[in-house]
Amino acid sequence: MKIKILLLMILLVSLGIYAWVYTNQKKHKDELAQKTEKTNQDQINIAEKAKQTLIELQEKSNLEELTRSEKVQYEIDVKHKAETELLNAQERIDAIKKTYYPHFISFIKIKGGSFMMGNQDGDEDEKPVHEVKLKDFYMSKTEVTISQYRECVEAGYCIKPDECDPQSGPNWTDEVGEEEDHPILCVDWHNARIFAKWVGGDLPTEAQWEYASRSRGKKIKYPWGNKEPTCSLMNWECMDLAQPVCSRKGHTDQGLCDMMGNVWEWTLDEWHDSYHDAPKDGRAWCVHPDCKVQKQKERVLRGGAWSNEKDAFLTTARFALYHTTRADRIGFRVVRSIK
């Protein structure tokens, strides 16, 4: 029975890989589709081998002339073969991802739950403290990098960032540079969201962002706990520019990097000067259900930049700018829902 389950897993994974490749072929250039033609056939071959192995197992198990020891050895051999093919299938998944997305975004699963959002001892816009319940979601481990954004531009979905006299560090250049692992800068709220949609997600809601930065809603001042910030924990007054993503040690318990410092991060929500009547289910607080811009409206940013004062780095601290703002201290990360 266990062997049959393993074989079934191989079959499902193989078919899943094939479906994944087929879906993503439509999104990419012809040259990438050609690269995956052989991979597609490999997945079909794996599925066929899995079917054939299952048939052989059923036939062998019905042969009365097999001795008990022969049956045991045969089952061991089939189990080893099944486990090997399953491992190879997973390696193919990783290889396909690298083919399509050389700088594939790493997502971390954030398990949902309830937490008390806000800070009763903070500024007025952080009050009142209120309970929010969130579902599970994925959040990108890092702020979106120059290399990741470049892929969106090259795919024809995103536009090049405007020049905004960046003083926070390396930013977009038409040619691939040596600082591709730095956060992308000078991207407004609209274009940040275009990128997020391109990778199958969205900008995080303000509730998702705070919940994640507080290591799933803990009552802590900083993502790593209550220890005061240092240059080893976050990029703040350490160097006068943004640094490569995930180059500091102040991660959340789940492994999210740079939730404090480096650059500000866009969220989906419109700005409100308090939490009165704020949603309690983790959704974005917007006039339009999809958070489309209906009028000139500020959007919430979180996390602070390397140049800010210390109070900007509390996990509950909030800031706002108009959605059209392009600044050299603003970046973003993305989330994906779990269906």
- CB atoms near residue 37 (< 10 Å): 11
Residue 60's contacts (CB-CB under 8 Å, 6 or more residues apart) are: 66, 71, 74
Give the pLDDT confidence score for residue 236 in this predicted structure: 81
Give the pLDDT confidence score for residue 295 in this predicted structure: 73
Give the pLDDT confidence score for residue 172 in this predicted structure: 81
Q: Provide block-wise average pLDDT over 10 residues at a time, the chain (339 residues).
A: 56 51 48 48 56 56 56 63 60 49 79 97 96 98 95 92 66 83 94 95 98 98 95 83 92 97 96 97 94 86 87 90 92 93
Residue 23's contacts (CB-CB under 8 Å, 6 or more residues apart) are: none
Instruction: Determine the Cα–Cα distance for residues 215 and 66; give it in Å rounded to an integer.
Output: 57
Residue 31's contacts (CB-CB under 8 Å, 6 or more residues apart) are: none
Alpha helices for the chain (secondary structure H): 2-25, 30-35, 37-61, 68-100, 146-154, 189-198, 206-213
What global pTM score does this model have? 0.71
Beta bridge partners of residue 319, listed in sequence order: 301
Token representation of residue 226: 């209550």
Q: CA-CA-CA-CA torsion for 184, 233, 222, 328, nearest 10 degrees?
A: -20
End-to-end CA distance of the chain: 30
Element spanning 122, H or E: none
Q: Which domains, from first to last, does the chain contain?
A: 2-100 (no CATH), 105-339 (3.90.1580.10)
Instruction: Determine the Cα–Cα distance for residues 8 and 90; give it in Å rounded to an integer.
Output: 15
For 241-278, give the DSSP string.
Answer: S---TT-SS---TT----SSSSSEEEEEEEP-SS-TT-
Instruction: Determine the Cα–Cα distance for residues 39 and 27; give it in Å rounded to an integer.
Output: 17
